[in-house]
Structure formats: C-alpha cells, structure tokens
Structure 1
Amino acid sequence: MDRLSGLDASFLYLETPAQLMHVCAVMVLDPATMTAPYSFDHLQDEIERRVCDVPAFTRKIRGVPLGLDHPVWVRDKNFDIERHVHRLALPSPGGYRELVDLCSHLAAQPLDRSRPLWEMWVIEGYRPDDEEDERVVVFAKMHHATVDGVSGANLISHLCALEPDAEPIGDGEPLRHPRDPGKRELLGRAVLGTAALPVTLAKVIRPSVQLVTKTIERAREGTAMAAPFSAPRTSFNGTITAHRRIALSDMSLDEIREIKKATGTTVNDVVLTIAGGALRAYLDERGELPSSSLLATVPVSVRGSSRRESGANKVSALFTKLGTDLDDPLERLGKLAERNRNAKDHHNAISADALQDWAEFAAPRTFGLAVRTYANLRLAEKHPVVHNLVISNVPGPPVPLYFMGARIAALYPLGPVFHGAGLNITVMSNAGEVHVGVIACRESMPDADALARHFPAELERLRKAVSGGSRAGAR
C-alpha cells in the first residue's frame, strides 16, 4: 500500500477552484526528426505504450474512511489513454499569442481526481513567429501531489530518448504498482497512525525549538536568510482567481555560465539576479516599484539528504531578497550572491525532512476548510505579505532529448500560484538554452508577457555590466 506523505497530501488539501495545485510544462516539438510522419494516433499509441507500466502515470488516489489519514495510491484498473491524451489545433495564424492564450486556458482547468492525476494536450498547427516550419506542442499537466520539480523531470525519462529511434531513457528500471487495500485495513492503519501522532509531535518539536533559537542568533549576526512576512505588497499579492496568464521566454545558458565564471557566483545567483531585474523593470513600467526588495520563496530539493524513502515531494524552501531595489545589475548580483550564501548556510542547518515532518500533521478536513476560509475572507490582503512570488530553477537535460522521436526544441515549466503570491517563475535548462515559464493569476497580472520579455533584456544588461567591470578591472 502506498500512502501519500503528508507533504504530498498537503497539495491536495491546498487545492481550491481558484488555487489549483498542478504543475505544467509546454514542450515545443520538432516533428521533422521523427522516423515516421507525425500523426496524433501514433503519438497517442506510443505514449500509452510507454506509460502503461509506470505507476506514476497509472495510479489514482483513494481516500481513507472518515478522512482519518492521508489518502493512498491505488492502481487505476480502468486506465484509458484517451482520457489523458487529447488533441487540439491552434486557431489561425497559430503563433505565439494563440499558443499562450490556449495554454493559459488549459492551465486553469482542474484535474479529474477520479483518474490518474495527469493529462497531455497535443496542440497542432503552431508556427513560431520567427520560423516557417510548423511545430507540435504538448501541454502537460501533473498534480503536485504526484511530482516535485526533480521527480517531474525524472518522469520525462519514461517518455523521452537520446536519439529519435531509441527506446526511452527510463526503460529497464524496476517498477512497483501500488496495492489496493481493503476498507478495514485503511481504517485500522489510520487509527494506529492517529494514535502515534503525539509521539511523532514530540520528536519534531525539540529540533524545531532549537532551530528557532539558532535562527534568532543568526538574525542578530546578520547571517540569517530573509524572513517571511517582510515583503512589500504588489499588485500580484492578493487573493487569486481561477484565471491564468502564461508567458514564455528564452535565454542562453552559455551566457549565464560566462557571467557565473567571471563573477565567481553560481548559475542560480545569476538567474535570480536576472529575475530581480525583470521584476524591477516590470513594476517600474507600471509605476508600482516598491522601495524595498521583493522577497521570493525558492524551492530546494532535499533528495540527496532526506531520510525518507517514500513521498513524491522531497523539497524544502528558502527565502531570498531579489534586489529589486537596486538598479545596477552587477551590484544586485553581488548582494544576491552574499544573501544566497547566508541563506544556504541557514537552510543547511535545518533538517532536510523538517517540512515533511510537520506536513504529516495536516488534517484533511481541517486543512481544506482553513484554506477555503482564508480565500473567502480574502485574508491574503489583510496581513503582511509572506512572500511576493515563487521562483524555481530546475536543472534540465544537457543534451537534446526526443519525445516520441520528435526533438524537444523548448521545454517551459510552469508551477502553481497561491493566494497572496499570484505569480510563479520557473526556469529550466535544456540543451544549452534556458527556458523561462511565467504563470500568474490573470487579474493580478493581465499581461504576463510584459514581465517575460524583460528576461533576455536583463541578461544582456548583466552581461554588459560584467564585461565593462572586467575591462575596468583590467585597466
């Protein structure tokens, strides 16, 4: 029996009609590399062949009687690929605007919880604005209860290959399908688990108290990560609706690495600096730039240090200020690098399983009711802003990958947005490119492209600033 971890289940409890907890990806495919001419039927058949024995694609959730424990995964005995892989065509002229409008609509639709929590929309007729050849786009959705950033990237290995005619990278891995338990077993395990909660609570309280003490000491020394509830309010920090806006952008990974090497920073430092500059430019254009820096939550994978074997989500998070109060991109990079070093040291002092341990106490009914009450009373607009947005940097494949034989020309990740933080920026590398996915609540950010277009411009500003600084240093 595969019980959802508390953190996995929390993404189910957090979900409301407006706050959807699935992650998405926009995959732009070049069908010219396929060994046979593209057809939707063949593509659908190939996807079915590759996922039918992969538990992450064929399992569904089953609730525990009386909601006494987190749900369990069971195999969907009626799995039907036609309920998961769908076909659409873009309206004329089939350019970027038509694509992001359609993807924004699809991102705003909830997943059906009676089936495995994923779906793909194969979109035909896409003609990139700067190219003549037609592309096929796959818009993929998977619930956050099933994947985090790293495990989602790993799932791609079951669908992609290193050559157009090769078998998927994930073939040959041992797979275990979840067992379907009876009601009595579910109820019995739930009762035992509930009885053990006081003991579990005692185990997590002590290290948490020690963490608070150490955090206070770090704050006095000026080496603590940025504190939540210290963010300035912006137009995307309020109660969200179910409507979404998506925008996509591209940058050169080589240029980012050159900046990293020249400044002695990290790729993540550079990416966050560019994001800070893009947000500064966007808010300044609207006359909304706050005097203090925006605060971002940055998810961090703890797969290498977690003691837990189960659970799809193995993440923690750190808070970092993005330097939106600084106009000079080089100065912003220096400040961000220093803050990130402190934040990483602070984060490393926290147990890798702290978030997962506390998530075990998320009660299904109580948690869901609290989220709905929070949204209905619009409390996100009445207390200090916890954080302004979420920014994720997911490492992607260093070489080209082929999806059912079609080369993945671009892969844009998209995360969820929350009440109080209606903007998510996710960045992923792919064969020498860096693809940026921006998703926002439509009412909070009606024109997401107004933000996305600043990413390549800010990369160029930073590159020129670094180059100028290097020449000045050489003189």
Structure 2
Amino acid sequence: MSPGAQLFHAPTLNCYVIASIGVKTRMNPHVIKEGLRHTLLKHPRFTSKLVMKGRKPWWIPTTVDLEKHVIVPEIDPDLDFPDRFVEDYTSNLTKTPLDWSRPMWELHLLNIKTSNSQGLGILRIHHSLGDGASLISLLLSATRKTSDPQSLPTLPTKKRAVMPPPSPPFSSFCSFFLPIFSGLALIWNTVVDMIMFFATILFLKDSQTPLKGFPGVEHTTKRFVHRHVSLDDIKLVKTAMNVTINDVLLGITQAGLARYLNRIQGVDATGGAPEQPRRNNKIKDPRLRAAILFNVRPTAGIQELADMMAEKSKVKWGNWIGYIILPFAVALQDNPIKYVRLAKSTIDRKKHSLEAICTFGCAKLMLKLFGMKVAAAVTQRVLYNTTLTFSNVVGPVEEISFCGHPVTFLAPSVYGNPHALTIHFLSYVNQMTISMAVEPSIIPDPQLLCDDLEASLKHITAVVKKTFIPDIV
C-alpha cells in the first residue's frame, strides 16, 4: 500500500468517498452487476482486500462476490418524503465501517423516486483506494455516452491561456526579466505558504465560527445534501468578469458562507441589520480557511483510466494529493461581485506557488521517517485548525449512462475528515452540483446553507448582467 493510502487508514483520518448517482429509470440490479464485472472488477484495487503483514498493510487479490458488494434494500414505494429518506439512508452508512475481509467498496441501489431521479445508486469507497482524480476517472470508465452507448464520455480538457506578445520596444526587456521576476515570485509565494502551513500545524487556528468543528468530529455521523444550480449562469459570470470557473465557485462559496454566518450571528444576509442586531465584532471578519486536496500529478485534470493504469505512465493511479490552505473572505460586501474578485486574487496567487507539491513531499518524507501515527497526527492538526474542506471537479460535458441507466446527476462527497463542513462542486452537462457533508450538531439545517449558496449565485449573476451586460434584462 502506498504511503498516501496508509495515511487514510489512520484512526483519525479514516476517510471514505461516498457518491450519489441519480438515474432516469429504475435501477436494474442484474444489469448493473453485469456492467460492474466488465468495468469496476477489471481494476486490481477493487478486487483486492487489505491484509496486514507485520506492521505494513498490503493489497491482496481476492475473488469478488458481487452479491455482498451490491446491496438492494426493500423500500416502501409510497414514502411521503423520499428525499429525506435518501438523506437518512446515506447518513446511516457513515455509522458502520466497510468490511476489511473483502474489497473496500459497496454500491447501494435505491429504487425510489426523488425530486431529481427515478432511481439512485450510492457508491461508498474507502479513500485509500484512490484520490478524487483517480476515482472520477474510474467512474467515467464505467459509463458510456447516452447518445452513443459504445463510446466513453468525453474527458474535459483545460485550455491554456494564450498571452499576447509584448510590444516591440519592451520585447527584449520582457523576455529577459519576466522569467526572473516570475521565478522569484514563485519562490517567495512558496516560502510564505509553507511558513503559514507550518504555523497552522503549530499554533495558527481559525476563528471559532458556527461552521468550525470540534475535537472528534471526524468520528461523528454526517449528513449529506446536494443542490443543483445553473452551469450557464456560472459560465456567464466567468466570461463577463474574465475569470475562471474556479474563481466563480470560490466567490459563490464565500458569498454564501457570509450570508449564512451573518444570519446565524443576527445580521441580515443582504447586509442590513435586523431590529435587534447581535453582530459579534470579534468574528466580523473571521479567519476562515479551507483545506483543499490538490492533484499533484504531472498532467492535471481527469485522465483516461487506461493511461493511469499503464506501468510506465507519469499519471499514476492512487493518492497523489497535496494540501493547499486557502483563506476565505466571508466579511459582508456591499457588492457581491467583490467575492469573485477576491477569489480570483487568492487563486491567482496560489497558482503561482508550489505549496501543494511541497506538502505532498513533506507527507511522504514524514511517513518514511516517523511512520503513519506521526504523519496522521500532523495532518489531523492542519485540518483541525482550519474550518472546511473544499473541492471542485470537472465532470462529463454530455449525458452519460451508468450500466445502461441514463444519469441525471452525480454528487460526490467524503467523510471521516476532521471538518464539520465539506463542500464539493461537480459539473455535469449544463448543471453544477453542490454537495455538502455536514456535522448536524454544528450545521443543523444544511439545506439553509444550500439556499444561501444558490441565492449568492443568483445575486452575483444579476449584478454581473447589470454591470457588464446591460442589454440583458
């Protein structure tokens, strides 16, 4: 087992990936099992069990009994609140660990009509089997285009920005000095980020806000909710403000958390004070940071599964992830597009830093020198001293089918990490799904937080239309 995979088996970092797959038809267990035999079971990690040899865990190939991995519960078709039932069912899965005596994954098929699907699959995988990029690549390899059942989904590609050439008088100056300035900035940003990272390990803590977890939060039962918003609106803001999708998503999240926190603290979400304001000046502009797991593979983005499994591939399967600590601006702003501008400024600086690669290297070195317990304790300390986990993954650009079942949405999340709030974004066709895992004693009404995120997108979109595209009503 790789060092990263070992870390996810530490008692304080025993993390699982859990993903909901909504489909347009009822789930056919027989068809899905046959589909898994030709896709998932071709992967060695999903046909191996965990065995301890001395003090080291090893993956040992075994025979997979799909009857034990694909669970089809009996469900009353006339449930009054099917969406609530799915939330409760998914939450209950976090109460029990997966069985080490067989491969550490399972798929639950729920034939229940919800507000967004006619059937639902809940895939639970131990995080040691792979990171987000690996598992999304695997999931896509198990799907096909609905329009062409013989074709794999189109993998999104990142477009590199093309910089205009400098004007002739300055071309020689730029060609000589710009690389030097860029290199010095990269070194400076990396040094500052690593100082802040080590300060977070030692003493630097986030403010105690209504989103902050408590010691032991990684062991509590979590609730999972998701919300679908318009990807077209996000793209409109991206184009009008000349930013990236990541900038917009971070801006939406900052604005949504600001609305939520200030409502909890007794300040109206739009910025006006209620009749008896209870604003606490100590958390007027709190230190609130996200720990972001960053793919450190040489080639970013989602990869072809065959490429990831190739023996000499540079883009390996596994847990190739480093941490980035990203500060969130959650003070109230008079103009909501400021959240997007602040997000762009923060992300642009982080792009010009080697923080993720350095933290990945430090984790590997610490595991090698001091063992899993010390490495896990240090990682846990970083997460305890920050507030939330944040992630964004680009999904399929066209409708896909999972073992012959047309997919309506994909909603991934994780649990077992020492945070009371985890937010994932995943695009699919023309929608963006916001998935959240929350500790219910900290965030008792996660749908309210979803409302704030959705309202923030609508508010930002409306202001962008008035500001940048005045002709649009």
Does the alignment reach a TM-score above 0.5? yes
The amino acid across from 1:102 in the alignment is: Y
Alignment of 1:311-322 (within 5 A): 312-322=318-328
Q: How far apart are 1:225 and its partner, in Å?
A: 9.1
Q: How far apart are 1:445 and its partner, in Å?
A: 2.0
Q: Structure 1 residues 348 and 261, CA, compared in 2 at 3 Å: closer, same or farther?
A: farther
Partner of 1:360: 367
Partner of 1:207: none
The amino acid across from 2:60 in the alignment is: V
Give distance in 1, aligned partners of 2:95 and 2:449: 20
Q: Is the CA contact 2:247–2:343 (under 8 Å) kept in the aligned structure 1?
A: yes
Give distance in 1, aligned partners of 2:234 and 2:131: 25
Aligned sequence identity (%): 21
Does residue 85 of structure 1 match 2:70?
yes
Partner of 1:155: 138
Q: Is the CA contact 2:70–2:108 (under 8 Å) kept in the aligned structure 1?
A: yes
Q: Is the CA contact 2:82–2:113 (under 8 Å) kept in the aligned structure 1?
A: yes
Give distance in 1, aligned partners of 2:317 and 2:39: 23
Q: TM-score when scaled to structure 1?
A: 0.76
Q: Is the CA contact 1:26–1:412 (under 8 Å) kept in the aligned structure 2?
A: yes
Partner of 2:16: 22
Does residue 115 of structure 1 match 2:102?
yes
Q: Structure 1 residues 101 and 333, CA, compared in 2 at 3 Å: closer, same or farther?
A: same
RMSD over equivalenced CA pairs, Å: 3.6
Q: How far apart are 1:151 and its partner, in Å?
A: 0.7
The amino acid across from 1:84 in the alignment is: H
Count of equivalent residues: 405
Partner of 1:206: none
Partner of 2:231: 253
The amino acid across from 1:321 in the alignment is: P
Which 5+ residue runs of structure 2 have no aligned equivalent?
Answer: 154-183, 267-279, 301-312
Q: How far apart are 1:269 and its partner, in Å?
A: 0.9
Give distance in 2, aligned partners of 1:82 and 1:262: 51
Give distance in 2, aligned partners of 1:104 and 1:47: 25
Deviates more, 1:251-260 or 1:383-392: 383-392
Q: How far apart are 1:49 and its partner, in Å?
A: 4.0
Q: Is the CA contact 1:8–1:312 (under 8 Å) kept in the aligned structure 2?
A: yes
Give distance in 2, aligned partners of 1:216 and 1:42: 50
Q: How far apart are 1:440 and its partner, in Å?
A: 1.4
Give distance in 2, aligned partners of 1:359 and 1:400: 43
Q: How far apart are 1:349 and its partner, in Å?
A: 8.6
Partner of 1:439: 437
The amino acid across from 1:50 in the alignment is: T
Which 5+ residue runs of structure 1 have no aligned equivalent?
Answer: 33-37, 171-209, 375-379
Q: Structure 1 residues 469 and 227, CA, compared in 2 at 3 Å: closer, same or farther?
A: farther
Q: How far apart are 1:108 and its partner, in Å?
A: 3.5
- Deviating runs (4+, > 4 A) in structure 1? 210-220, 223-227, 305-311, 348-353, 362-365, 367-371, 471-474
Deviates more, 1:160-169 or 1:136-145: 160-169
Give distance in 2, aligned partners of 1:429 and 1:256: 11
Q: How far apart are 1:308 and its partner, in Å?
A: 6.8
Give the 3-state SS of the residue equivalent to 1:262 in structure 2. Answer: helix
Residue among 460, 463, 466 paired with 2:464 = 466
Q: How far apart are 1:313 and its partner, in Å?
A: 0.9
Partner of 2:181: none
Give distance in 1, aligned partners of 2:354 and 2:17: 25
Give the 3-state SS of the residue equivalent to 2:399 in structure 1. Answer: coil
Alignment of 1:1-400 (within 5 A): 4-13=1-10, 15=11, 20-31=14-25, 39-65=28-54, 67=55, 69=56, 71-76=57-62, 78-91=63-76, 92-128=79-115, 135-163=118-146, 166-167=149-150, 169=152, 214=188, 218=192, 228=200, 229-235=204-210, 236-239=212-215, 240=217, 241-287=219-265, 290-293=283-286, 294-304=288-298, 312-327=318-333, 328-347=335-354, 350-351=357-358, 353-355=360-362, 357-358=364-365, 360-361=367-368, 366-367=373-374, 386-400=385-399
Q: TM-score when scaled to structure 2?
A: 0.76
Give the 3-state SS of the residue equivalent to 1:260 in structure 2. Answer: helix
